[in-house]
Structure 1
Amino acid sequence: MLVVLAAACNKAKSALPGGAPGGGMPPMPAEVALAIHDTVVDAIGATGQIEAIQSVDLRPEVDGRIVDILVREGQGVAAGTALF
């Protein structure tokens, strides 16, 4: 019985397409390239519109025009010092 089972297995192997061990279609040609180490820049250029979630109106505490600036840019000032 073991011999019949072994013979049946051998017949099933030879029945594969191609007739060779493994059978099937011949291997397909493949293009091969060497892998290189490089930096990938992940950037997207796009145009669009943005909208604030909240907004605030800025206005002076008093009406009028600025006629003189009393301090220079970068100059240190104490709390309460008039700037204009």
Structure 2
Amino acid sequence: MPNAIQDQEIAMLRSELEMLMKEREALLRVAGYAAGFIAELDSFDVPRGAMQAAELLAECVNGLTEETLQDALSAVQAHSVA
């Protein structure tokens, strides 16, 4: 009986981990595309009402660690190639 409970717990943890990994991949793609979008923006062409949103997005992307940003850009490149 204890083995059955352990096996069930392991299966639940494995399922949760897989879900978190898929969510991380999706978030990395969002961050990667956001970084690309910000890099392409010309601040003179951004409408005044959108400038604050663009600045907030830029702050969030700039707040990422170097490793996470690299992972995000890689995720976008891999997704674009596929």
Asked which structure has the greater RCO (Cα within 8 Å, sep 6+), the reply is: 2
Q: Which has the higher helix share?
A: 2
Tell me, yes or no, whether TM beats 0.5: no
Q: TM-score, normalised by structure 1?
A: 0.26
Question: Which has the greater radius of gyration?
Answer: 1
